[in-house]
Amino acid sequence: MSNEHRPAGPQPEPIRFFGTTWVDHSGGYVLRRAAVGLGALFAAVAGAVVLRLGYEGLTIAKVGTLVNVLVIGAFALCTALAFRRTWEGFGSRPAPAADASAERSLQSMLLIGFIGSLLAYALRTLVEAPGEALHRREYEAARTRGGRRR
What band does 143 get if pLDDT is binned at 50, 70 and 90?
Answer: confident
Mean pLDDT score of the chain: 87
Cα four-point dihedral sign 18, 19, 22, 26:
negative
Candidates 90, 148, 150; CA nearest to 119 is 90
Residue 91 has pLDDT above 50, yes or no: yes
Average pLDDT value for residue range 5-30: 84
What band does 20 get if pLDDT is binned at 50, 70 and 90?
Answer: confident
SS3 percent helix, strand, coil of the chain, rounded to 5, is: 70, 0, 30
pLDDT of 149: 65
Cα distance between residue 12 and residue 47, in whole Å: 33
Cβ pair 22, 129 in contact under 8 A? yes
Average pLDDT value for residue range 111-127: 94
pLDDT of 1: 47
Q: What single-letter amino acid sits at 21?
A: T
